[in-house]
Amino acid sequence: MSADPGATPKNPPGNPPRTQGGPRRPDRGSGLLSAVLGVACVAAVLGLAVNVSLGLWTRTTVDAIAYDLARDLATTPSGAPPAVDVDGAVERATRSIGPYGSKVSFHVEQFDDDAVVLRVTSPGVALLPTMIDGGPVVGSIDRRIVVRRESP
Q: ∠61-66-68 over CA atoms, to 5°?
A: 95
Is the overall model pTM greater than 0.85, yes or no?
no
Q: Which candidate, 85, 110, 111, 97, places its Cα nearest to that of 141?
A: 97
- The beta strands (E) that lie in 3-68 are given as none
Q: Which candidate, 121, 124, 134, 131, places its Cα nearest to that of 51?
A: 124
pLDDT of residue 114: 85
Tell me the C-alpha to C-alpha distance, in Å, between residue 132 and each of 127, 129, 135, 137.
10, 6, 7, 12
Q: What are phi and psi of 66, to 5 degrees?
A: -65, -45
Q: Where exactly are the structural domains of the chain?
A: 38-148
pLDDT of residue 134: 66
Would you say 47 and 129 are in contact if contact means Cβ atoms under 8 Å apart?
Answer: no
**pLDDT tens across the length of the chain (152 residues):** 555 665 555 665 666 665 566 666 666 666 888 889 999 999 989 988 888 888 889 899 999 999 999 998 888 877 666 666 788 889 999 999 989 889 999 999 988 888 889 999 998 887 777 666 667 777 788 999 999 987 66
